[in-house]
Amino acid sequence: MAVHHATVKELVVVVASYAVYVIPLAAVLVWWRVPRASKVPLAAVGVLTIVLAFVAITLAGLAWTDPRPFVVDGRTPVIPHGPDNGFPSDHTTLGAAIAAALLPWRRWLAGCLLVVAAGVGAARVAAHVHHVPDVVGGLLIGVACALLAIVVVRAAQSLLLSRAQRQAGSATAVDPQGTRLPIRSRRAQDDHVPD
């Protein structure tokens, strides 16, 4: 029985401390494999997601203080940790944020990585360094940050595309068969010198 307990404890330590690193590694591999046209938007979503997640972690921590379980009950945690605020779980928040940022490119993988982030959070609860609300809050905050980043980057892409089309003096129309046809702008027509 002691061997089983030691094995479970070691598994909790490994998952709580190191499994979260699988998520950014997978994100880098996705970036490496997406088509060239998707690399900049994916990188922009990733960077914005991480920035938003750090800001959200800070604000959430200021809004809600939750002493860590080992501070409240005096039990020794399975992994060493300082007695700072436990809400939200940084590991879970960042893992969920990075995983959810992959949704537009690899939904199935993003879903699997969200499960990994939840597993990291569960292991951190089992390690006695977080309460369940710290982990659930981290998951929700992380996903919200990623979704916001996706919306912002898509809006920026649309804005840049429409601005580029206006500057180029061209736009497109779609004929009944769905074919895109160039339309010359008023400016382009005025600038045209007849033969």
Taking alpha carbons only, the member of 72, 69, 115, 126 closest to residue 92 is 115
pLDDT averaged over 10-residue windows placed end to end, the chain, 195 residues: 70 93 98 95 97 98 94 89 94 98 98 98 96 98 98 94 75 55 52 44
Q: Is the pTM of this model over 0.85?
A: no
How many angstroms separate the CA atoms of 28 and 52, rounded?
19
Q: What local confidence, expressed as pLDDT, does residue 120 receive?
A: 98
Letter string b/e over residues 82-111, b meaning 16 or more CB atoms within 10 A of that residue's CB:
eeebbbbbbbbbbbbbbbbbbbbbbeebbe
CB-based contact 153:171 (threshold 8 Å)? no
Q: What local confidence, expressed as pLDDT, does residue 174 receive?
A: 53
Q: What local confidence, expressed as pLDDT, does residue 191 receive?
A: 46
Q: What local confidence, expressed as pLDDT, does residue 190 receive?
A: 46
Q: Domains of the chain (ranges plus CATH)?
A: 2-191 (1.20.144)
Q: What local confidence, expressed as pLDDT, does residue 194 receive?
A: 43
CB-based contact 19:79 (threshold 8 Å)? no
Q: Which residues pair with 181 in a beta bridge?
A: 173
Q: What local confidence, expressed as pLDDT, does residue 75 receive?
A: 87
